[in-house]
Copies of this chain bind each other. A is one copy, B any other.
Amino acid sequence: MKQLTIILALLLFANVNAQTDQEVLKTIYTQSLTNGKSYQWLDYLSNSIGGRLSGSENAEKAVQYTKAELEKLGLDKVWLQPVMVPKWVRGDKEEAHFVTNSVINKVNICALGGSIATPQNGLTANVIEVKNFEELETLGVDKIKGKIVFYNRPMQADLIQTFMAYGGCVNQRYAGAMEAIKYGAVGVIVRSMNLRQDDLPHTGSMSYGDIPNSKHIPSAAISTNDADKLSEALKNDSDLQFYFKQNCEQFDDVLSYNVIGEITGTEFPNQFMVVGGHLDSWDLGDGSHDDGAGVVQSMDVLRLLKNSGIRPKHSIRVVLFMNEENGLRGGKKYAEDAKLKNETHVFALESDAGGFTPRGFSFDCSDANFEKVLSWKSLFEPYLIHYFEKGGSGADIGPLKTTSNVLAGLRPDSQRYFDHHHAANDTFDAVNKRELELGAATMTSLIYLFDTYGIDNIPEVNPIKD
């Protein structure tokens, strides 16, 4: 009988707890959808500031704006963390064309981030089209020397998760020049990482690796429509001449900042849970999806926790990382400082996959912690959040990884993401208010659950109980 009473009491307790979590999530989602701030912040960041490439005046404005907004939230601490970042400037002379049957075919082009400029009057050369580095190797110096290498492997349309398709293509952009230089190429153009056929070139970072400056060659992206046109034209005239001009420039590193706000934990103030996105963006659009969305959602997580009457046990930090796009300096700096200060980071969550309808999360963690996450699945069901898988988390929080902590990435619907990614149409009008707010609520809910139930296998560092 006594045993039965205990069992009943436990069941009752479990039920009360479950109900409470349900109620908390309901409050969080309702707050975000009826009284969210994320969309308003994004409006300012996108329309009043604009694209925020590392080292630019806009990036500095974004630092000051988000710091000031965080200060209005009544957090326990708000501060800037200095970090040196690369400064690359696109310039204003981007143009390209190729000539077929005496007709000039204009090409929509943009320099890749980190590329050098062309000569002042542009670069004109024959084009050799390849799908991958293996083809490059097969062709060899004889067929490549003196030419522009044109990487034209499209994103794979039949992959359901578009980030997989991106992963299967992006080496053309990032390492295309590095590889082409080996065979004496004079320039690189790459098909934009875009699943759609349109006229927009998509930029993104590229690297020369260890190759000395004197051997660098200019690199640029062309639109998917132009990639198809050029490929078609090359079939009829493999000797056609391609011309492009860009006057981008790499400057010395400059001082910038990660923006950080904190609600100090009531029980475990020295155990940190981070939620963040990256404040820098590419320069062609206003960076609304990549990653203005992640920035304002992360800011709203702390506001929603406060507004929902949640006093977290762990210290919850919002970190707006600088320089994810072309250096990851902010992410590295934050992790280095955390290590220097011996800060235990038990959990980190990043939103950097667009402000679209959230579908769930992917996790980088132990099986035990993943089981814990799966036990919360039913709590998320009313919000149509169903995707809980092991996998990557986010670039900025990656350096925080230890053997025992939990990293997570918000996974929004990805179908439209690469239509906008790094292109001139990554703009505020492409973000839907409700989708953005659902993402913020979903992130807040996961932070709430990890704060409430902790993670497995972490020593309790300096717990203070009242």
Contacts and interface: CB of A to CB of B under 8 A. Distances in A.
A434 interface: yes
A29 interface: yes
Q: State how many copies of this chain the complex holds.
A: 2
Nearest to A161: B384
B413 A158 contact: no
B382 A160 contact: yes
A383 B160 contact: yes
A102 interface: no
A456 interface: no
A423 interface: no
A455 to B, nearest CB: 26
A415 B431 CA distance: 11
Contact of A432 (B34, B157, B161, B415): B415
B357 A384 contact: no
Given A357-B415, A413-B357, A415-B357, A157 B384 contact: no
Contacts of A196: 433
B33 A434 contact: no
B387 A359 contact: no
Interface in A70-126: none
Interface in A357-408: 357, 359, 382-384, 386-387
A434 B34 contact: no
A234 B438 CA distance: 33
A199 interface: no
How big is chain A's contact interface, by range? 20 to 34
Q: Which interface residue of A29, A158, A416 has the most chain B CB atoms within 10 A? A: A158
Interface string A1-42: 000000000000000000000000000011001100000000
B157 A434 contact: yes
A34 B438 contact: no
A33 B383 contact: no
Interface string A189-215: 000000110000000000000000000
A435 interface: yes
B434 A195 contact: yes
A43 interface: no
A227 to B, nearest CB: 17
A228 interface: no
A415 B386 contact: no
A179 interface: no
Given A357-B413, A384-B387, A157 B33 contact: yes
A419 interface: yes
A461 B158 CA distance: 39
A34 B357 CA distance: 24
A34 B435 CA distance: 27
Contacts of A415: 357, 432, 434-435, 438
Q: Which of A34, A357, A384 has the most CB of B within 10 A?
A: A384
Contact of A158 (B29, B359, B387, B433): B29
A42 to B, nearest CB: 15
Given A359-B384, A413-B357, A415-B438, A158 B195 contact: no
Contacts of A387: 384, 386
Given A157-B434, A357-B357, A357-B413, 10 more contacts: A30-B158, A34-B158, A160-B382, A160-B438, A161-B384, A196-B433, A384-B387, A416-B432, A416-B434, A416-B435
Which 10 pairs between the two chains have the least Cβ-Cβ distance? A386-B386, A30-B158, A415-B434, A33-B158, A33-B157, A415-B435, A357-B413, A34-B157, A416-B432, A357-B415
6 contacts: A29-B158, A34-B158, A157-B434, A161-B384, A386-B387, A419-B432
